[in-house]
Amino acid sequence: MFDDFFLISLVPILTGLFSALSCTLVGNILVLRKQAMLSDTISHVVLPGIVISFLIFGNLGPYFMLVGAGIAGLTAVGTIVVLRTYTSMDNSAAMATTLSVFFAAGVLMIELTLGGNVHLDVEHALYGNLESLIWIDGKSLMSIFDPAARQTIPVELTRAIIGFVLIASVMLVFYRFLIVSTFDQTFAEISGVPVGIVSASVALAATLAAVISFDAVGSIIVVAMFVCPPAAARVLTHSLRDQFCLSLLFSALSAVLGYAVAGYFPILVGFETSISAAGTIATLSGVILACAILYSKRQRSYDFLDGHQT
């Protein structure tokens, strides 16, 4: 069963793991800022960015894709600000408008330029395809130290690791800025923290995390990685550091266990093929969240739909 572990399983597990960890890092901030749905908006919005950079650069530049998606993410945040300024929209309506328009534009662009394969391509964007990341030269543990074999590691994994390191280090460096402007915006402004830049950077970090995970786990399951582990940790902890640590643990657990369940459970039950790893990871993170809520003590009570007002 484990003979082909390095060939088939290692790269998907690591890609899923680092994608999930990056999303969870940013997700902690989003959940605390009551902007959880920003992750949903961004994960829809990167589609036209990726399509445009594909049209311009073709398959040549996997890193250009990041630039295209980053620009799309920032344009979307700009659109949200413009809509909130020039109409009576609240945050929720502005995000709903932006995400649907960008996604629709992306779908139309695929359809008009790349031909009739739209369902396949959009499906790929939605569901991701973790299972396709095969490391051809991965034969044993020693392959990791073999430079020639390392050449064939899928670029998705490299991108996921670079993205994770980038996000983690930027968050560590600007940790105090980030925290003060999240918890007390007025105080942060008085103290001279550039609150606007911090907000834009959070959106940019969310875009980066969404894009590196996009190929592997698909745009909607990304949202689960942004929201569920931080929410579960938030319910169980009372300090920010605990919340960060616990959420990363939950995130890693759902990523690794989710892949294992998706790969091996159907075989054990007796089906021929496996089920979607990305979907299983999302489902597992939801199960963890549900357990956390059931385990935690009953907290403050909210009116339905009014939870967002504090």
Partner 1 sequence: MTELIGYNTALALVGALLFGFSSGHVGAFVYLRKASLLSDSLAHATLPGLIIGFLVSTFLGMEEKNSWVLLLGAGASALLGVVVIQWITARTKLGFDTAIAAVLSVFFGSGIVLLTGVQSVSVGQQAGLEDYILGSVSGMLLQDVFFIGLVSIICSAAVVVYRRPLTAFIFDPVLSELAGYAQHRMSFLLSLLTLVITIIGLKIVGLILVVAMLTIPAATARLWSTCVWSMSSLSALFGSASAGIGVIISALLPNLPSGAVIVVIMFIALGLSIVVTHLRGSNV
Residues 68-97 that bind partner 1 (CB under 8 A): 83, 86-90, 92-93, 95-97
Residue 268 in contact with partner 1, rule: CB under 8 A: no
Report how many residues bind partner 1 under the rule CB under 8 A.
78
Q: Given candidates 9, 24, 35, 143, which one binds partner 1 under the rule CB under 8 A?
A: 35
Residues 52-71 that bind partner 1 (CB under 8 A): none
Q: Nearest approach, Cβ of 87 to partner 1 (angstroms)?
A: 5
Residue 34 in contact with partner 1, rule: CB under 8 A: yes
Residues 205-244 that bind partner 1 (CB under 8 A): 218, 220-224, 226-228, 231, 234-235
CA distance 255 to 246: 14
Q: Nearest approach, Cβ of 82 to partner 1 (angstroms)?
A: 9
Q: In this complex, which beta carbon is closest to partner 1, that of residue 61 or of residue 286?
A: 286
Residue 295 in contact with partner 1, rule: CB under 8 A: no
Residue 159 in contact with partner 1, rule: CB under 8 A: no
Residue 118 in contact with partner 1, rule: CB under 8 A: yes
Could you tell me if residue 305 is left (phi over 0), alpha (psi between -120 and 50 degrees) or otherwise beta? Answer: left
Residue 281 in contact with partner 1, rule: CB under 8 A: yes
